[in-house]
């Protein structure tokens, strides 16, 4: 099997770097579940606006974080320090948001890990995915996590396919990955650190190298009105 590209320079202590290098999507399984299960029932170190809706158990929110009115947060969830969750955001149960992460207005994050400074700031969907440190999703980015036929997510490789063992898996984006506005990443995309995606890219499942540019080429025809 081809080795995966460089993804993360550092992981939180609750996650195993060796596992991340070989099968990074498995961090969303037992490692994430165990980390969430170990959280206290409630540890909220900030004042919350009455317009914030909390649901479920094991909700941790660190100092300096800002949760805007109308945001919905479901436990179990870990929200570190200086995290921003903006108006209308929906953080569904099973998420781990490291320090300085951003979940933007009307963005939905489900069963995902956002590493230090990762940002999904505008109208995004992040499902069963991992965003590396300082990753930024352009407005309207969708990390799709489910095949229409409901089958296991597989990652195509040059010499075959890599089974993930999961029916729900979005994307694994390395540190400093940037997606252009309205990008759609199909289930099973692994993108190496520092890679940039053009706006509007429809990224098929597969492994993409580190420090690359994924370009979208299109033809635009302009005609005179009759």
- 122 catalytic? Reply is yes
Please give the distance of CA 88 from its chain centroid, rounded to a whole number: 18
Helix or strand run (H / E) with residue 59: strand 59-61
Distances (CA, A) of 219 to 27, 109, 216, 222: 40, 34, 10, 10
DSSP string, 110-158: ES-EE-TT-EEEES-EEES-EE-TT-EEPTT-EE--B-TT-PPPEEEET
Q: Is the dihedral of CA 187, 185, 88, 148 positive or negative?
A: negative
Q: Of the residues 111, 116, 122, 148, which is catalytic?
A: 122
Length of the chain: 226
Nearest to 77 by CA among 61, 53, 100, 101: 61
Q: Which residues are catalytic?
A: 122
């Amino acid at each position: 099997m081809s080795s995966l590209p460089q993804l993360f320079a550092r992981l939180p202590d609750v996650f195993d770097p060796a596992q991340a290098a070989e099968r990074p999507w498995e961090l969303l399984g037992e490692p994430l579940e165990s980390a969430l299960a170990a959280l206290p029932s409630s540890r909220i170190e900030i004042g919350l606006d009455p317009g914030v809706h909390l649901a479920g158990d094991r909700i941790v929110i660190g100092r300096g974080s800002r949760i805007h009115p109308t945001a919905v947060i479901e436990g179990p969830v870990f929200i570190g320090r200086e995290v921003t969750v903006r108006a209308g955001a929906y953080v569904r149960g099973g998420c781990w948001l490291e320090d300085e992460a951003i979940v933007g207005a009307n963005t939905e994050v489900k069963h995902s890990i956002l590493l230090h400074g990762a940002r999904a700031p505008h109208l995004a969907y992040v499902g069963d995915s991992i965003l590396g440190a300082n990753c930024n999703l352009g407005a309207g980015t969708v990390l799709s996590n489910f095949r229409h036929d409901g089958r296991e997510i597989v990652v195509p490789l040059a010499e075959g396919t890599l089974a993930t063992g999961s029916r729900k898996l979005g994307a694994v984006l390395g540190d400093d990955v940037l997606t252009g506005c309205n990008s759609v990443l199909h289930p099973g995309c692994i993108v190496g650190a520092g890679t940039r995606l053009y706006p509007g890219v429809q990224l098929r499942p597969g492994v993409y190298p580190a420090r690359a540019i994924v370009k979208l080429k299109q033809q635009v025809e302009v005609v005179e009105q009759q």
